[in-house]
């Protein structure tokens, strides 16, 4: 799937998502990654339903929301994780990775304060 070209450009815009691969600035990612507004790094949690607060806690002071691309299917995060984020007034969006890639680029273009976690 080629993403629609936008006049807005950013080093962290997603260029393409296909065959369980995310392409960002000519780098291909086939393992879970996290975008944290400064860098893209491998994310060590094997499944989106296993993400816990401790895995993203260091980012919470500087973001308003978390976007999770759960792979080809939508996977519901852990209920305790959802509850804690709600209590901390942090937005949480989770969707299949194809949709999350589009949403990620939109959030970048709006200069929103967020992190993205993608499971290819």
pLDDT in tens, the chain (120 residues): 555 555 556 789 999 999 999 999 889 999 999 999 889 999 999 999 999 999 999 999 999 999 999 999 999 999 999 999 999 999 999 999 999 999 999 999 999 999 999 999
Measured CA to CA, the distance from residue 44 to residue 75 in angstroms comes to 17
Please tell me the predicted confidence (pLDDT) of residue 18. Answer: 94
In a domain, 9, yes or no: no
For residue 5, is it within any domain?
no
CATH code of 82's domain = 3.40.1230.10
* 57 falls within a domain: yes
Residue span of the structural domain in which 58 resides = 14-118
Q: Is residue 7 part of a domain?
A: no
Give this prediction's pTM.
0.90
pLDDT at 8: 54
Is residue 3 in some structural domain? no
For residue 115, which of 50, 35, 27, 22 has the smallest C-alpha distance? 35
In 3-state terms, what secondary structure has residue 109?
helix
Exposed/middle/buried for residue 55 (C-beta within 10 Å: 0-12, 13-18, 19+)? middle
Domains identified in the chain, total number: 1
Q: Give domain status of residue 107, yes or no.
A: yes
Cβ pair 43, 117 in contact under 8 A: yes
Q: Minimal CA–CA distance to 47: which of 24, 71, 29? A: 71
Residue 97's pLDDT is 98
pLDDT of residue 67: 98
Is 97 domain-assigned? yes
Q: What is the maximal distance between C-alpha atoms in the chain? A: 39
Residue 2 counted as domain residue: no
């Amino acid at each position: 799937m080629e993403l629609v070209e936008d006049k807005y450009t950013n080093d962290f815009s997603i260029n393409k998502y296909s065959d369980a691969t995310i392409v960002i600035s000519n780098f291909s990612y086939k393992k879970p990654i996290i975008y944290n507004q400064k860098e893209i790094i491998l994310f060590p949690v094997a499944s989106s339903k296993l993400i816990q607060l401790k895995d993203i806690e260091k980012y919470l002071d500087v973001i308003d929301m978390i976007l999770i691309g759960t792979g080809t299917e939508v996977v519901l995060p852990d209920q305790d994780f959802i509850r804690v984020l709600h209590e901390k007034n942090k937005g949480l969006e989770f969707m299949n990775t194809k949709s999350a890639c589009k949403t990620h680029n939109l959030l970048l273009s709006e200069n929103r304060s967020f992190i993205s976690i993608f499971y290819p």
